[in-house]
Amino acid sequence: MSREESKPPELTIQRIFDDPPLSGAIPQQIRYAPDGRRIAYLKAANDQHERLDLWSYNLDERAERALVDASQLSRGSVELSDEEKARRERTRTSATGIVEYEWLPESNGIVFPLDGRAHLVELSTGELSALTPAEAFVTHLKVSPHGTWLAYLSESDLHVVEIATGRVQQLTQDGDDAVSNGLADFIAAEEMLRFDGYWWSPDERYLAFTRVDESPVATSQRYEINAGEITLHAQRYPFAGEANARVDLHVVELSSGHVRNIEWRLEADDYLARVWWIGNAELALVRQRRNQTRMELVFADLDGHSREVLAECSDTWVNLHDDFAIIDSLDAFVWGSERGGTNQLYLYRRDGKLEKPLTAIDGNVTKLLSVDEKKRLVYFQGWREDPVEQHLFAVSLDEGGGLTQLTSASGCHDIAMSPDCSTFVDQHSSVTQPPRVLLGRADGTHQFDIDANELNQEHPYGPFVRAHATPQFGHLHAEDGQRLAFRITRPPENSTSPHPAVVVVYGGPGAQRVRNQWPPLFQQYLARQGYVVLELDNRGSSNRGRGFEAPIHLRLGEVEVRDQILGAEHLADLPYVDATRIGIFGGSYGGYMAIMCLAKASEHFRCAVAVAPVTDWRLYDTHYTERYLGLPEENREGYRASSVFPYLAGLSAPLLLMHGMADDNVLFTHSTRLMQALQDQGSLFELMTYPGAKHGLAGRSVSVHRYRVIADFFSRHLSPKPV
């Protein structure tokens, strides 16, 4: 074999975003059928990985089946409604085709929206039928608990259709440009991760829903610059320190149409963070103070009576979570709390009295999954000892019952428990294994692979496996002694000359980059181009506990930058890194970090790429910003010092600024103000904007172009030698 023939194929940016997907057609939104005998999921089409189709898997027969090919059912190019556009942007949904679905309670069919219309596919026959009128654009579907009704949103109002007859009932009437019913408001979806705005009662007699009135939010004019036109949007954006939308909670009875108001506030600017039904006539609510130092779990009945069950308090902020489950047989509930430093689970009596802690792991509970009342076991995801891993655990409700780790393969496991908790579907990946899907028993025993996604020569990534650069993990110690996990990807071992390096950063709260999971392929591309790639989770990042997050309180861009400097110093000490050629790249909070690192520490970073960066926190939204910086009038110096502008005099190294010109989250204004400030001080910089693109800069063509521009920028300023 010639030397040329033995050389692995080139991994290009174009190929990373081409079909078929290099990481495999990874199942998404895996859900058990209510009877537990099948699962359903969405999967990218081999010929168009941006399109999702609907699939099912029969667990008894171990057989996969394509249920709906979205391209065959689609009506073509259908314009999304404004509420659906907003909802997809909040959930970061960039795919086309089928993007959500719901099982029927009898497990005999699945309901899904496509092109604004709800459809039903019957599993036994594969027959398709439309459930909603063709003239109405519907979104956010939910099947009622007994399968009688399908609820949906259309033109800011809540509707139901009787599945058997097609009879439509409009439940709210006052939706307009400022008022929406059943739709999560901007703050709830973007920052509280509450994507729902309505909830079925277990007996399907009632629907609880939010009525969102945005009129208190000042209207600001936002330009969306597209390729062929410029449109002016009157956006009600809740800037830090300003008014939020008013969110009311109502319950409508389907049979009568009677609407009841649920009073949930203590103070006018409280947040409604979570809503659950806990029976047919009672709701559990999570209420949060505007300053986010206190939140309460509240039980409210339909007669207007409510009681505070427990409260969580902090000197900094209280993180929201979804770790709540009623245990009817014990007249109790499970609740998650960080009161001990990391998130742990606790058992409470229904009256709010603490029974006992359930978990005491040397780690963190990341997600409460399910409760098996018969076996008296609670299942959850989390980590112990090593935060780069995520595993499935079970803990007994009985005294002295103990805790068991049920997954053993190194890496990160995302779990879906069966309705009876007898089995689980595990989506597992590591730095050497792209996401695979397997079925396990509740005792942790592996039953079989549903999708092994094996990296053989038939796999899309097969031709590139031989040159795959396996990331290595390590840790550094911050100035306060806390461990900072990092992941480093280096070029092939046979390359001995010092390499340039790229620090890929996010750095903000609510996120964790360094995990033992399948890495982004752009990092592989950079390594093959001759770069060493470093990812480091600085203090303020999530999933490490209160003590790790708290140092950023009231002042952003300080400890995070110092920790990233520590990472750059570590790179500089490595014999295979050229300390004079270290760049940094990040998006959103990572874009903010890239600018702050370059401006504050140009002696460590030779150049930076900032994508959709926050530049002034007064221009960002209430809930996120005030959680960390407080109210602007109470922390003026903190806001000033946390923006990029006081440090721009130190920004003398090359900067590439990128932004979508229709971004409704980190507004384009963040970048235009930065542009003017840099121009006023005579600083040169490079700029790439994307007409019509939102915050996620989604789409194949935009993604390919964006990463090509980034690669070209680093090539010109760090001069790598491809390996």
What is the rounded radius of gyration, in angstroms, for the C-alpha atoms of the chain?
26
DSSP 394: E
Question: 459: helix, coil or strand?
Answer: coil
Task: Tell me what percent of the chain is helix, strand and coil, each rounded to the nearest 5.
Answer: 20, 35, 45
Whether the CB-CB separation of 86 and 140 falls below 8 Å is answered with: no
Tokens of 438: 């397997």
d(CA 322, CA 273): 10
**Alpha helix ranges (H) inside 53-121:** 70-73, 82-90
CB atoms within 10 A of CB 440: 20
d(CA 472, CA 519): 11
Tokens of 570: 């570590």
| CA geometry: angle 705, 708, 709, nearest 5 deg | 85
DSSP 520: P
d(CA 240, CA 670): 14
Of the candidates 402, 400, 297, 387, the residue with the CA atom closest to the CA atom of residue 350 = 297
Instruction: List beta partners, residue 159.
Output: 152, 170
Which amino acid makes up residue 617?
Answer: W
Which amino acid makes up residue 629?
Answer: L
Whether the CB-CB separation of 584 and 503 falls below 8 Å is answered with: yes
CB-based burial label for 268 (10 Å; 0-12, 13-18, 19+)? exposed
Within 13 A of 690's CA, how many CA atoms are on the CB side? 23
Residue with tokens 């490490």: 544
CB atoms within 10 A of CB 263: 11
Of the candidates 603, 574, 463, 587, the residue with the CA atom closest to the CA atom of residue 528 = 463
| CA geometry: angle 106, 108, 112, nearest 5 deg | 105
User: How do 499-504 and 483-489 pair as beta strands?
Assistant: unpaired
Question: 48: helix, coil or strand?
Answer: strand
Whether the CB-CB separation of 217 and 243 falls below 8 Å is answered with: yes
Whether the CB-CB separation of 506 and 590 falls below 8 Å is answered with: yes
Question: 527: helix, coil or strand?
Answer: helix
Q: What contacts 132, CB < 8 A, 6 or more positions away?
A: 117, 118, 138, 150, 152, 161, 168
Q: What are the start-end ranges of the E strands in 91-134?
A: 96-97, 102-103, 109-114, 117-122, 128-130
d(CA 201, CA 568): 53
Whether the CB-CB separation of 205 and 105 falls below 8 Å is answered with: no
Tokens of 455: 């990296």
Instruction: List beta partners, residue 63.
Output: 58
Tokens of 531: 């770069």
Give me the active site residues, please: 588, 663, 695
d(CA 176, CA 179): 5
d(CA 427, CA 341): 28
d(CA 228, CA 210): 37
